[in-house]
Amino acid sequence: MSDSHINLLVTGALGRMGKAVIDCSANDDAIKIVHQIDVGDSLLAVLPDCNTVIDFSFHAFTAELLRACVDLEKRIVIGTTGHSDDEVKLIEEASKMIPIVFAPNYSVGVNLLFWMSGKASEILGENFDIEVMEMHHRLKKDAPSGTAKRLAEILAESRGLIYNEHAQHGRDGIIGERPKNEIGVHALRGGDVVGDHTVTYAAVGERVELSHKASSRDTFANGAIRASKWLQDKPAGLYDMQDVLELK
Ligand code: NAD
């Protein structure tokens, strides 16, 4: 599977991210946006004309998109977040047949934060309690953000813990003392915040914070476009932005 030119389909084209992808690829000679679709448009009517899909839509659309892309052997860059465990399994299955980049965050800075967070956790050790905090605009539909979830997964892995068992989403009531092996995950919503993420490592006597703040969706759009180019000569497989940026 290798093409010299990217004939792109943008799904979720009327959304905030879909529009950013369309704007950011407008002056890119390597990319031709052949079709753009949103709710109500037929995927199968347009997919044959394209070799690559960039998808920032809604998690419930992913199964249909995967089926069509596997049948017609198309590459996909999935930006959509909020998938259930079963939906993630579908992505993993499809990646045995087609090349897929699936990343909760396409910004270079956040991918550096992913890398640094794991390293900091290893260096600081178990005396530091870990909390992840994210803030997004009031229209965001899923929580916690895919990025916060990935951060918590990386932090859990660095301590030999399991995200589903050790993540604590918010706190309320008489909850008792903080268990040592807990990773707190907190989602703030409001205004037009594009995406803030902070990992706090708190010990007795000191605290370390690693933060990333996105101020424009173009950073995610440009990362997804970069991923779509990187994907062109790759075999079937499941890749993330750490692969694209060679941070692994
Ligand atoms: P949005 O609500 O502005 O846009 C989503 C668009 O998808 C809407 O226009 C909607 O009509 C469309 N859509 C929904 N179902 C569809 C379907 N079945 N077929 C085609 N189009 C469909 O949301 P947004 O802010 O653009 O974010 C979209 C997704 O991308 C969310 O899951 C968000 O969390 C995620 N996101 C990921 C990154 C990243 O870097 N990975 C960055 C920002 C947002």
Determine phi and psi for 181, rounding to 5 degrees.
-95, 25
- The pLDDT assigned to 123 comes to 97
Q: Is the CB of 82 under 6 A from ligand 1?
A: yes
Q: What is the DSSP string of 61-107?
A: GHHHHHHHHHHHT-EEEE------HHHHHHHHHHTTTSEEEE-S---
Q: Which atom of ligand 1 is nearest to the CA of 57?
A: 7
Residue 42 CB-half CA count within 13 A: 5
Residue 246 Cα distances to 103, 108, 166, 231, angstroms: 14, 11, 29, 13
Cα separation, 46 vs 64, in Å, equals 14
With a pLDDT cut of 90, the percent of the chain lying above it is 96
Catalytic: which of 83, 136, 149, 197? 136
Of the candidates 59, 140, 166, 234, the residue annotated as catalytic is 140
The token pair at 17 is 């991210």
Residue type, 45: A
Parallel, antiparallel or unpaired: strands 167-169 and 129-136: unpaired
Tens digit of each residue's pLDDT (9 = 90 or more) over 18-45: 999 999 999 899 999 999 999 999 999 9
pTM of the model: 0.91
Mean pLDDT of the chain: 96
What secondary structure does DSSP assign to 9-74, as a single string? Answer: EEESTTSHHHHHHHHHTTT-TTEEEEEEE-TTS-HHHHGGG-SEEEE-S-GGGHHHHHHHHHHHT-
Does 99 sit in the ligand 1 pocket, CB within 6 Å?
no
> Is 136 marked active-site?
yes
Contact 226, 240 (CB under 8 A): no
Cα gap 10→136, rounded to integer Å: 23
Instruction: Give one word for 83, left, alpha or beta, with left for phi > 0 and alpha for psi -120 to 50.
Output: beta
Delineate the domains of the chain, giving CATH numbers in brackets. Answer: 6-106+217-244 (3.40.50.720), 108-214 (3.30.360.10)
CA distances from 210 to 125, 168, 189, 205 (A): 16, 19, 20, 17
* Residue 162 token pair: 């399991």
CB 145 within 8 A of CB 83: no
Distance 67 CA to ligand 1 centre (A): 19
Do residues 13 and 37 touch, judged by C-beta distance below 8 A?
yes
Please say if the pLDDT value at position 16 is more than 70.
yes
Of the candidates 178, 107, 184, the residue with the CA atom closest to the CA atom of residue 148: 184
Give the percent of the chain with pLDDT over 70.
98
Note the pLDDT tens digit of each residue in 200-232.
999 999 999 999 999 999 999 999 999 999 999
Give the list of residues 6+ apart from residue 34 with CB closer than 8 angstroms, or none: 7, 8, 9, 46, 49, 50
